[in-house]
Amino acid sequence: MALQKGDLVILQKGSKKYLLIIKEEIFHTHAGYLDLSQIEGKEYGDYILSSKGVPFYILKPTIFDLLMKIKRQTQIIYPKDIGYILLKLDIVEGKTVLECGCGSGALTTALAYFVGKTGRVISYEKKESFVEIARTNLKRFNLEERVVFKLKEVEEAFDEEEEVDALFLDVREPERLLFPAYRALKGGHPLGILVPTTNQVTSVLKGLEALPFVDIEVIEIFLRPYKLNPERFRPEDLMVAHTGYLIFTKKVKVKDGNED
């Protein structure tokens, strides 16, 4: 299918990648400038030439590309963690998912992408500047209409009660929101939490002991890239190591045989 104005593309030369919108604009690079209007009418997999005659390949952006290129004011949740979060929370078309703490909107974007046109993301965030940058990123990828932002700090309860299919907490003191999360979730459905330090993990685990949650898991995910030299194939010298601890659990209505 021929590309049109307004379409998102990746232009790639070697290891350099640029996420761009097709429009009447000149884009400058280290290998000469590119007339982005030349992309119109081409297809993914084609190429355009820079002013210096250097080819840039036109690739279809993946959700991974979108997440790595978002505008940010905060540390984002990395794709290596997001992939596992999406699976553990069972994020598919039509689900209603609640997140608390949107930051720059990386996870928000992924959630909105995977709930599809019939799903909904409810995002609580107390800082207006974070909501605005998250909204900007969603709008850039045509996902804004799938997200409802609630600019407020949650104290005792979310507005939703036994309404959401999944819930994710990315806040400084998630142990304070365990009971509100319990009330918002449907029975048997998953809760996910991200924290950067071990003492926060301990606080969350203590909090979960007091509530009817089961199937608790704590993990940390590492991703190790490799150099692309077939003659000297080896790991990269640098890697993103610790990004956070992930905690997952599921809501039940009874604990130890007693009604909650």
215 belongs to an annotated ligand binding site = no
Rounded CA-CA distance 254/115 in Å is 29
2 belongs to an annotated ligand binding site = no
210 belongs to an annotated ligand binding site = no
105 belongs to an annotated ligand binding site = yes
| Strand locations in the chain (E) | 8-13, 16-21, 26-29, 32-35, 47-49, 55-59, 96-100, 120-125, 147-151, 166-169, 190-195, 213-219, 245-251, 254-255, 258-259
Sign of CA dihedral 14, 16, 20, 26: negative
90 belongs to an annotated ligand binding site = no
Output DSSP code: residue 144.
G
* Residue that has been written with the tokens 């806040």 in this structure: 171
104 belongs to an annotated ligand binding site = yes
Rounded CA-CA distance 148/120 in Å is 8
Residue list, annotated binding site:
104-107, 125, 170
Residue list, annotated binding site for S-adenosyl-L-methionine:
104-107, 125, 170
